[in-house]
Amino acid sequence: MSQLAELSELLWRERQALDVLLFKLEEERLVLDAGRLEWLARAGHEVELAAEELRLAGLARAVGAEAVVEELRLAPTATLAEIAAAAPTPWGEMFAAHREAMLRLSARIDELAEANRRAVEAARDAAVREARTATGELIW
């Protein structure tokens, strides 16, 4: 397999890892929206596992990109956009498509992760208020 084909395969794996992370964040959100807080720790753990898989896929892609960067005579710090611009047809277009898809997935992940963080904080605050009310503590 050529180094360009190998990099494309690694980018597919990273995209799949991004997709799984997005799915796990969606699951976490469904748990929160359903008020099923007994499942929140498990959902959070699955998000952490998916994030770790993404980290590993990113590391594998970085290693795979080193050979391509060298082959294309780019700087060792070349970005995927720079690799796409320098790669021959059809690889350049494929790398550019991977980059665009990964940017879209990453933006959705960032947005959902932040929304989930806020929802978890709100759920925690509501649980504390409920516990204080149940024990007769005054709420200010």
On the 0-12 / 13-18 / 19+ scale of CB atoms within 10 A, 125 is exposed
Assign residue 7 the CATH number of its domain.
1.20.58
Give me the number of domains the chain comprises. Answer: 1
Domain span at 126: 3-134
Q: Per the domain annotation, does 140 fall within a domain?
A: no
Task: Indicate whether 115 pLDDT > 90.
Answer: yes
CA 93 to chain CA centroid, Å, is 23
CA distances from 102 to 18, 58, 95, 134 (A): 7, 11, 10, 47
pLDDT band at 97; cut points 50, 70, 90: very high
Q: Which of 18-22, 34-38, 127-131 has the highest mean pLDDT?
A: 18-22
* Per-residue model confidence (pLDDT) at position 14: 98
Distance CA 83, CA 5 (A): 13
